[in-house]
Structure 1
Amino acid sequence: MGLKTFWVKAKLKSDLMRCFRDGKIVKTVKRGDQNVDFFPQIHDVFVDEEKKAVRFVFTLKSGMDPELLTKREWVFRQVFGENIELSGKTKKFTLWVYSKGMPDNVKYVFEDIQPHLEELFMPLVIGYDRRNNLICLDLKEIHHAILTGSTGSGKSSLFRAILVSIMLYKSPQDVQFLLIDMKNSEFGIYRGGAHVKEVLMDQESVLKALQQVEAEMHRRSKLLDSEDVEHVADLEKKLPVIMVVIDEIIALVDNKKIMKILTNLSCLGRSAGVHIIGAMQSGRAKDVGGQFLNNMNCRISGKQSDATNAKVAGFTTAKNISTPGRMVLSLDGVETHVQVPFMDKQRAKKLLQPFKGKVIQDPNSDIQVSQSCMLEEIKEHIINEFTLEGMEEDE
């Protein structure tokens, strides 16, 4: 370490200690007639010249309340500026300080995203972090995800980034979507796509479809057991992943049958290749049910209207968001701010057009039906693999 680097790190360490003192992030122990203060222990100060950022690693003394850090995050902003990111859970914490803020707008460009999807079983595009790294998760590892946030927070943009990326990267044989659109406004652009089994907008049809998915999950579980493998990806005969995507899950909570199935899917679906991505307004998050929410180990939030809603949704930093498309990703209690790549509805339609069929108007219905332009053998393959191996649907 050069002399200059030594003094830079010493100055940075001194600034962090000032944060602890000014914010009263301290444990005071009485020894005889004196009070002795114990501050968090700083283990590492790393200067990332390429990213123009500084990373601090420190631990709290045993007996210190970790919530002190989130409650008094303002002191770190006063010393280091607004461009910080604090993560940690119980004892060990990491503080990143950046010289520049995150971009307010990132355009969706699939050619830039595609290389990051390689080697992921079922990729989930989330957004760019403060170091301009694209975060892509694997549904095989995170199982399920829940999106929360107030109106206009960017949930629609995130839905498009996730769904369009998968449809462009994976074939209809790899994945089939069951899209539940309780607001009748979000998923219409996907109707008729080769990857989309159904777009559902009422509880009756939702219940019927989820009963089929649940039966398929149980069939696959028995198949895994008979083949002595842990995941559908390990089967010799490949089965498509089933993704149940729900916009405004709150509209389903009064239907106990639907919520029971969704809870079962969230508990048992991972190994069978059945995954849930849900979205809702955060204010009624507690109405969904504890077991279901506990199984949503990947949580993503846009701007929350206040600290109470942020806490109900399980976030500590979402209340500080002011930029559209800015999200907080929470994995295992660690929160990371990301900027979702923006794609409007017209751009999404254009990208998905090659997967669309010819739209036919049924004279006996107000619903448009799509006739797939994909090869008939692809259509037949998907039907065979996703309709319970020929099991007839309930009348």
Structure 2
Amino acid sequence: MIKEWFAKQRMKASLFQVFRNADIGISYSYGDNKGTVYPKIRKVKFDYERKTAICYFSLPTGLDPKEIKKKEYCFHQVFGQNIEVKGEVREFKLTVYAAKLPSELTYDFEAYSPSFKGMALPIVAGMDLNGKLIVFDLLKNPHLLIAGETGSGKSTQIRSVLATLIQALPPERLELFLCDLKRSEFHLFRQVEHVQELFVSPAEMLPMLQYLQKEMRARGDRLDQHEVTHIDELESPPPYIVLCIDEVALLQKETKLMELVEEISAIGRALGVFLILSMQRPDRKVLDGKLKNNLTVRMGFKCADLINSRIIGTPGSEKLKIDGRMLLKTKDYDLKEIQAPFLTLDNAKKILEPYKVAKPNDRFNSFKKPPIDVIDLTENENGVFGVLDE
């Protein structure tokens, strides 16, 4: 107890040193009395299981909360790199981590799979500063944006996400539509049974997106018919559909395509249709208000500058220095620093080999099938009139 008390006093003293060095406070002057009111340190506690120290402090009235973010470098100078400073308006929390994130986290599906229990579409984000594996369900956190510069780990993360989905779900429960506009990432998935087709140009994408639009309408009609709100409530639910577009920024001039993508983001969740979008350089024209708001999960790898990281919604990702390191933002995690799994191209090929099948060379054949519950009216009419004629 005595050792812990002294340790807490040292933490308080160090935090107060940050406030003084960074001039985080409100100056006052009453006659001959002059001074500064600094933030009040309310509590210090240690989490021995997670190996963290947490300091709670509140700002004096009149101090701009933005000062904490502006001078976050001062917290790092005193407490090191493995910290988080979070809060808003008045109440803030400083978390100091004793553990360090690994500079590389090897992809391991068998180690991850116990965390998938109860999840429909598991996505492994990576490991946080507590050494905890962060996994979320795309069904509950619909539509994912992955952004970052070349070499930051973005492409490896897409590879990891798709490989995990393929191993976690059988092909009758998952259909993948992959769009590789750079023609550099998705070739290894081409013959995987889950993959309906691989597209490499906007011209190829248009009929596919129109098919998905019809499929969503048919699924919506089926929900109305059975008076349910989600496809999983149906007695025989159709498979989940995941549309993954690498370098979606190349579609900024394709108004019709982007309208269809936005429609998926708006209504796809209940219908079992989900987006995974990636881009190197964020573009405001592509990430307009509606689409951006519907992308509930953002993975911000290293960006060129603060402007780009703000477009993604992960300010601070421009400061990341380690490959595979990102800031994750979801409705449950507000800018959590994560080390993403590293899946090499060779290992990905080995993982995917058992899932590959021979496919016809007829491009677009896989998605030209009619949407679910669509009746062949021509055949039906012939049958009816044939009976009447008789």
In structure 2, relative to structure 1, the CA distance for the partners of 1:75 and 1:287 (3 Å cut) is same
Q: Which amino acid aligns with 2:339?
A: Q
Who is 1:97 aligned against? 96
Contact persistence 1:310–1:316 (CA under 8 A) = yes
Q: SS of the residue aligned with 1:179?
A: strand
Q: Distance in 2 between matches of 1:65 and 1:336?
A: 23
- Counterpart Cα distance in 2 of 1:60 and 1:217: 50
Matched residues in 1 for 2:61 and 2:229: separation?
Answer: 40
CA distance change for structure 1 residues 224 and 65 in 2, over 3 Å: closer, same or farther? Answer: farther
Between 1:234-243 and 1:331-340, the stretch displaced more is: 331-340
Q: Work out whether residues 143 and 297 of structure 1, in 8 Å CA contact, stay in contact via their aligned partners in 2.
A: yes
Contact 1:57 1:93 in 2 (8 A): yes
Structure 1 segment 328-343 matched on structure 2, within 5 A = 328-332=327-331, 334-343=334-343
- Contact kept, 8 Å, 1:88 with 1:334, in 2: the verdict is no
Contact 1:212/1:388, CA 8 A, preserved across alignment: no
Deviation at 1:129, TM superposition (A): 0.7
Letter in 2 for 1:19: V
Q: Distance in 1 between matches of 2:91 and 2:297?
A: 21
Q: Judging changes above 3 Å, is the alpha-carbon distance between structure 1 residues 302 and 30 closer, same or farther for their aligned structure 2 residues?
A: same
1:346 aligns to 2:346 (yes or no): yes
What residue ranges of structure 2 are gaps of 5+ in the alignment?
377-390
| In structure 1, distance between residues paired with 2:73 and 2:257 | 43
- Mapped partners of 1:214, 1:63: distance in 2: 52
What residue in structure 2 maps to residue 70 of structure 1? 69
What residue is the counterpart of 1:134 in the other structure?
Answer: 133
Matched AA of 2:132 = N
Partner residue, 2:277: 278
Deviations 1:138-174 (A, max 9, x none): 1122111111111111011111221111111111122
Q: What residue number does 2:233 align with?
A: 234
- Match of 1:356? 356
CA distance in 2, matches of 1:286, 1:57: 40
Cα distance in 2 for residues equivalent to 1:298 and 1:12: 34
Check the 8 A contact 2:25/2:63 in 1, yes or no: yes
Q: 1:348 to 1:21 in 2, by over 3 A?
A: same
TM-score using structure 1 length: 0.86
Aligned mates of 1:143, 1:35 — CA distance in 2: 54
Distance 1:52 1:254, change over 3 A: same
In structure 2, what is the Cα distance between the partners aligned to 1:299 and 1:190? 23
**Kept in 1: contact 2:222–2:373 (CA 8 A):** no
Residue pairs, 1:72-91, within 5 angstroms: 72-91=71-90
Residues 59-68 or 279-288, more deviating: 59-68
The reply to whether residue 163 of structure 1 matches residue 162 of structure 2 is: yes
* Worse-superposed segment, 99-108 or 244-253: 99-108
Corresponding residue of 2:107: 108
Aligned to 1:373: none
Question: Aligned in 2, Cα 1:36/1:160: closer, same or farther, shift over 3 Å?
Answer: same
Tell whether 2:25 aligns with 1:26.
Answer: yes
1:90 and 1:150, CA in 2 relative to 1: closer, same or farther beyond 3 A?
Answer: farther
Q: Is the 8 A contact 1:181 1:248 kept in 2?
A: yes
Q: Aligned partners of 1:90, 1:346: CA distance in 2, in Å?
A: 49
Amino acid of the structure 2 residue aligned with 1:105? E
Label 1:174 to 1:198 Cα distance change in 2 as closer, same or farther (>3 A).
Answer: same
* Contact 1:211–1:261 (Cα < 8 Å) also in 2: yes
Greater CA drift, 287-296 or 181-190: 287-296
Which residue of structure 2 aligns with residue 211 of structure 1? 210
More deviation, 29-38/102-111? 29-38
CA gap of 1:44–1:225, structure 2 versus 1, over 3 A, is: farther
Between 153-162 and 281-290, the greater mean CA deviation after superposition: 281-290
CA distance in 1, matches of 2:223, 2:43: 46
Q: In structure 2, what residue type is equivalent to 1:132?
A: G
What's the RMSD between the two structures over aligned residues? 2.7
Q: CA deviation at 1:256?
A: 0.6
AA aligned to 2:247 is E
Residues 1:88 and 1:286: Cα distance change in structure 2 (over 3 Å): farther
The answer as to whether partners of 2:314 and 2:328 remain within 8 angstroms in 1 is no
1:34 Cα shift?
6.2
Post-superposition shift, 1:33? Answer: 8.3
Contact in 2 for aligned 1:89/1:334 (Cα 8 Å): no
Q: How far apart, in 1, do the equivalents of 2:217 and 2:60 lie?
A: 48
> What fraction of aligned residue pairs are identical, expressed as a percent?
32
Give the partner amino acid of 2:54: R
Deviations 1:101-151 (A, max 9, x none): 211111111111111111112111110111111101111221111111111
| TM-score normalized by the length of structure 2 | 0.87
